[in-house]
Each structure stands twice: as structure tokens, then as C-alpha cells.
Structure 1
Amino acid sequence: MNIIVQDVQKGMGTLKVMVKDSIDIQGMKTMAGSKALMQSQPAIENADVVNRILAADCQITAKTNLHELAFGITGINHTFGTAINPKYPALIPGGSSSGSAAAVAAGLADFTLGTDTGGSIRMPAACCGVFGLKPTFGRVSRKGVHPASSSLDCVGPFANSVEMIETAMQIIDPTFKVADALQQAPKLAWLQVDADPQVIAAIEQYLAQLHLQATPVEASFFEAAFHAGMQIINYENWQAYGDLTQTGLVGADVNGRLLKAAETTLAQVKQAEQVKATFTAEIDRLLEQYDALILPTLPQIPPQVVDAENTVALLNLTGLVRPFNLSGHPAISIPLQTKEGLPVGLQVVGKTNADAQLCAIAKYIKAAVL
């Protein structure tokens, strides 16, 4: 399935786990899906999250492939192969944590780890029909995760249930305590965003099955937050990986994005930081009134692999996920389908550091129609 990059045999635990190959495992190269890093030195120590997984007596069975340098949204990788989307084989697996989402969808692991700088957990979760959580920014250790410095990136889990997401979070975040089951319906706000009618209809039909009310609300800085997030990731990825553009070994799509990212100025980053403060405050105000915000994970049905070579042309696919990297709020994608059986994600956004409560809300929403 082109999911496994390198085999790993560690631990004898009952849970099988795979980790994205932008996360260090001692003695193994961290290649981040790039030919440009194939000659890098093996990691001298485990990432913090890997140590926690092994300490929990889990078995790490593989590292997973990704969109090169975690700087793309389709998951297409011509060097190591593109992970097949197990449930929707014609469609992209989503990026950048493509292999991690596909491995869970294929039943190859109990949970997997990905990273999310601009939607890279929630997007592939929606594409592959699994659950994916982007924790609150800074909550899960990024020590041993590449790039080493990021203002937006989060390590988080994929799984086939919210309960397994909670188990994974307890392992990788010692402060995570599973919240009590909700005794009454959460107070939800439906964030008004632009999305294809097919996507909106699927979510509305799902919500119609629930005994829940979702109040329509707006976030006036939502689009500005998307663009601000792009500016920050572009600037920071150029700092981290710009030198690799001189090797001739970076794939054309990522190389082009990096060269374009080089044009991002510090002044633009400072403007983005101002947007970050304003947008974060706006979302915080909404979450003072509601338990969670809901909106689609993706604005459209994921495209077919054959139509998805041009990453830049598809950046709008991150339009509904990237703003919450800027604000840092936790967000989970719940897998849904259209009447035609195509994948749709329902994104639920919670209060800062209320990750456990967010999972409880997600379980309530998912259980309401079982």
C-alpha cells in the first residue's frame, strides 16, 4: 500500500502503532518523504512521543510515508510512492500525514501519529474516513519532530474511534485525562463557511438525525486567518528546508512551493501575528458562549489522485482547517459520507486545552445516531 517506509520492531505491547516519518526513532533516518534527506544521519534519540509510546508497552510496527517534507496537502509522493486511500482508492489520501491516515483506514494499526501544521491530520482523516485529532498547540511535545521549530505544528493521533483517540492521547500527553461522558447535549455553534453544497448537505443530513441544535455563527477574521497561517508556514518552512532546494533532489511541487515561500517577508509574518491575536480572541469569544464549533473539515469532496498533481491549485482544500492552526484550538475530524458514499469530514473545534472535553463532545455526536 506504499504506507510503510521502514520497518521497526520495538516493544511487545498489545497496541500496534505507526508514526509519521517526520518523527525521530533512534537509529533510523528521518527522511520526511524526501530524496533530499535519504543520506541524512540516523536519529541519535527517540522523539518524546516515541518514548512515551514505548513506555506504554505499545509495539511500533512502522514509520509512515507523507507528502514530501510535510509541505503538501494531497499526499502524492513520487519518491516513496503515494499511500493508497483504502476506503476510497481513486481519491487522494490527503496530506501531509497520508500514510498515517491510510494505515488506520486499512486496519494496519490501532492508532498512528501524524503532524498538523495546516490541516495535515484533519485533512487526511477526512479523505480516508477515519478520526484525526489536532491537539491544542503546544500540548503534545514536539521534541524530535521535524522541522524542529514551528509556530503552528502539532503532533496528534489517527484512529477508527474517538475512544482510541483518547487512548493515544493518554499515552502521548501525560496531562490528558478522559472526560466524563456528557449527560446532556452540548451547546454547538455552526460556523458559517463556504463549502460545496454536497458537503453541507451531508453534514446537515447527519445533524438532522441528532437531537441537537447548532446555532449559526460567523467569524469575520476566518479568511484572514487562513492567509496568515500560510504566511507563517511559508516563512518557517523556508528557514527549515530552503537549503534543500539547492540539491536538485526535492520534488517539483514542493521545490516550487519552497522557492515561492522564500519571498515571504518578516513584515508579512508580523502582520500574520496580528491576525493571529485577533482571530484567536474572536474564536475564544464564541467558545465562551458555546461548548464547541462545528464546520466541514474540507470544503469539497477530495479530488481523485489523477487530478491532484498541482498542489498549489488545491491549497483551498485547507481553507477550513488551517485557521485553527493559527489560533491553536484543538480540533477533531469525524468521518461522514454523502448519499453517494463519498467522504466528508465533520470538524469539531473546542476550547484551548479542553482536548478531553472535545473528545467527549465528539463521542456524544457520533453516538447520537448509532
Structure 2
Amino acid sequence: MRPFDLGSRSGVSVVVKDCIDIAGEVTASGSAALRDRAPAERHAQVVQDLLESGAHLTGKAKMHELAYGMTGINAAFGTPINPRWPDRIPGGSSSGSAVAVAAGLCDVAIGTDTGGSVRQPAICCGIYGMKPTFGRISRAGCHPAESSLDCVGVFARSAAMLTRAMAAADPSFSPEPLTSAPRIVRIKADNLEPKVGESLIYGLMEGLPDAGYVTLPGMAEAFDAAMTLIGAETHAACHALLDDPRLGADIRARLAAAGTITEDAVAKAEEVRARFTAEVDDALSRADILITPALPTIPPTLAEADDPARVLDLTRFLRPFNLSGHPAIALPVTGDLPLGLQIIGRKGEDAQLCAVAEWMADTCPLFRKEELS
């Protein structure tokens, strides 16, 4: 984290991801290739909104280079250490934001989530993370500037503080009470690692209203479509950096491969987006909340993180909802390993989703509460 002091001390203390502009600070997006760029001339809209809410900005957080990775490992800027599980990845790409909250360096943090990049590091570090409805929080002053998947999101150590973080980051957000128990539907999840199997994860739902299961046939296809679109959009935004020798070798290889994505592949991905969004909307017409495991496997150790097969699958349940644009929250579970649930709500009903998260955290003692490491 690069520390500074900005704003009032009357509100929450906040750390901001390095791909979000803060006036006078370099927005390097975790890349040595951008380390020497000119400082930002003005705040990103979300930073300005935070300051106007009374927030106190205390630093910029490290991240996976160009927000194009899920481990949080960064050779040029250093890898943030996971406070609860130092041998495991902090998650990416909003690694430093999650670590800063988990370590108690701030009340809340701001990250970005293009394919699980808030929710996945939240669970890796044992905290709460939210991806709002797509477009809910302004991306003006965020990098890359254009994205059909990326959302500014928030981290906190409790569900109640997550709601407060949303109110600070989004002037249109107004907390809402939960007036009745929500109808919760579980999305059928297969091929889970035994330690995060349904007997453990869905056992957390004991005592909560359960409306059974729903199957979303397009989940796997939606995952692949989201991968196609993030590749095409990241290449469009960052391909000029391929000639810069300071670009990380892993990012260079992925960015070059993304340049082979065809317009036809993008068009087919957009067709998948339309179909899957309709599937999710239909499921949410018969339930208030959809629920999945947050991750299908335990996050790998740092030593295991060079195996793409162990990393890519981590966002199996997260990435599809970037494609559809629905709001989603990751709730961490107490225990010896990083585990959690994801809840998904209707578009625009972010405040109700936050209220459900608070209710679930209060109802089930196994969800983590406000806690400093």
C-alpha cells in the first residue's frame, strides 16, 4: 500500500485500488510499464464521492498487473501478504484492497471486479466483498476506461460495514431495511472440492428460508463468454504496452493471446450474455436471492499459484454474474481455510442485497464478524 492522507476523518477510512485515479497520484494499475506516467489531474468520480461522504483516504492498494489476473502476485510492485493465510494467494486482481481491510489498515477498501476481482480476494482474505449492479458506481477515472464487465466494488470486515461502504461510494445508494425473510434459491453446483462441498457450504443455510434449487444451464457457457470479452476488451485497452519491456512476462503472454480473439467470437459471447442474463432474471422472478459457493475450491498456496488449472476455476461461480451484470456479495465463513458463500440479487436492488447479507451474517454464527487481524 502507498500511504497518504486525504479527506475528512469524520467518515470511514478507505484504501483505493491502483487502477482508480486520485489527483496528484500516479495510476500505475500495478504495472511497471505505467509507473512513470503523469499523475492523475483529477479524482475518479468514486473517489470524489467518497471524499464528499466524509471518507478519509489513507492509501493506494497494490493489485495484479493491469487487473488481468486472479492470484494477486506482482513481481514489480510486490505481492500483498494474505493476513489470515500468509502461505496462500491474496486473490486478484484487487489483492491489496482485500489485504488492507483484512489486516485492519482501513475500515473499507475500493476495488474493481471484472471477473470476480473483488469477491474472490474477499474470500481469499476472509472478508466481505461486493460487486454492485453493473454501472451502479461510476467508472469515470477508472482504468481501463471502457469495459462491459467491470464494476467498482467494495470490501469490509462485516456485512454492516459493507453497506456503509456502498453508501460512501455511491451517492444514489440508500440502505433499506429487510421487512421479511427473503426467498433463497440455491444454484445447483457440481464438481466441488470436498472441503467446500454442499454438505458444508449449504449447511450454513440451516434455519434460513430455503426455496430449493435452480439450475442455470448457461453458467459454464457464460463463464467462457466472460473470458472472451475480458480478453478482447483488455487487449483493446492495453495492446500498446506489448512493446514495453517492463510489462510482466505472464501478462505479456496473456495479452498477446487475447489479440487472437475474433470479432465473431465476441459476437457469440454477446449472444451468450443475452441468454444467460435472461436465465438469471427468470430465476430471480421466482426468488429474491440466488446463492452459490463463493469458490469451488480452496484458494491455492503461493507455491501452487503458477498452475493455471488451480487458479482459473476459482471464479467459476463469480465471473458469470459479471457477464449478466447482477449485483453479488461474497460472505466469508469462519474456520481454518478460506471459504464462503455468494449471494446474487436483482439488478438495481443492491440495498436489499446488502440487507440480506447483514441478516445472514447475524442469523448464522459461522459467518465472520467485524474482526481485526
Alignment TM-score, normalising by the size of structure 1 = 0.95
Corresponding residue for residue 86 of structure 1: 83
2:356 to 344, 353, 361: 361
1:10 to 3, 6, 24: 6
**CA contact 2:109–2:156 (8 Å) conserved in 1:** yes
**CA contact 2:304–2:310 (8 Å) conserved in 1:** no
Once the two structures are superposed, residues 208-257 of structure 1 have per-residue CA deviations (whole angstroms, 9 ceiling, x without a partner) of: 3x343241110011100000000100000001111111111111211111
CA distance in 1, matches of 2:309, 2:231: 13
1:202 to 190, 200, 203: 200
**CA contact 2:167–2:173 (8 Å) conserved in 1:** yes
CA distance in 2, matches of 1:114, 1:27: 19
- 2:337 matches 1:342: yes
- Pairing of 1:1-370 with structure 2 (within 5 A): 4=1, 6-14=2-10, 15-182=12-179, 184-194=180-190, 195-200=192-197, 201-208=199-206, 210-311=207-308, 314-337=311-334, 341-370=336-365
* Partner secondary structure for residue 94 of structure 1: coil
Whichever residue aligns with residue 65 of structure 1, its letter is: K
RMSD: 1.2
Moved more, 185-194 or 286-295: 185-194
| Residue 197 of structure 1: how far off its partner (Å) | 2.3
* Partner secondary structure for residue 106 of structure 2: coil
CA distance in 2, matches of 1:250, 1:220: 38
* Partner secondary structure for residue 137 of structure 2: coil
**CA contact 2:300–2:310 (8 Å) conserved in 1:** no
The alignment covers a number of residue pairs equal to 362
CA distance in 2, matches of 1:71, 1:214: 37
Once the two structures are superposed, residues 279-307 of structure 1 have per-residue CA deviations (whole angstroms, 9 ceiling, x without a partner) of: 00000000000011000111100100111
* Partner secondary structure for residue 7 of structure 1: strand
Q: 1:59 to 1:207 in 2, by over 3 A?
A: same
**CA contact 1:73–1:311 (8 Å) conserved in 2:** no
**CA contact 1:202–1:336 (8 Å) conserved in 2:** no
* Partner secondary structure for residue 289 of structure 1: coil
* Partner secondary structure for residue 279 of structure 1: helix
CA distance in 2, matches of 1:292, 1:349: 6
| Residue 7 of structure 1: how far off its partner (Å) | 2.1
CA distance in 1, matches of 2:241, 2:232: 15
CA distance in 2, matches of 1:101, 1:237: 23
Identity in percent: 47
**CA contact 1:293–1:350 (8 Å) conserved in 2:** yes
Whichever residue aligns with residue 200 of structure 2, its letter is: A
**CA contact 1:25–1:47 (8 Å) conserved in 2:** yes
CA distance in 1, matches of 2:353, 2:224: 26
Alignment TM-score, normalising by the size of structure 2 = 0.95
Q: Runs of 5+ in structure 1 lacking a partner?
A: none
| Residue 39 of structure 1: how far off its partner (Å) | 1.3
**CA contact 1:74–1:311 (8 Å) conserved in 2:** no
| Residue 12 of structure 1: how far off its partner (Å) | 2.7
* Partner secondary structure for residue 268 of structure 1: helix
CA distance in 1, matches of 2:40, 2:356: 38
* Partner secondary structure for residue 171 of structure 1: helix
CA distance in 1, matches of 2:147, 2:161: 27
* Partner secondary structure for residue 333 of structure 1: strand
* Partner secondary structure for residue 285 of structure 2: helix
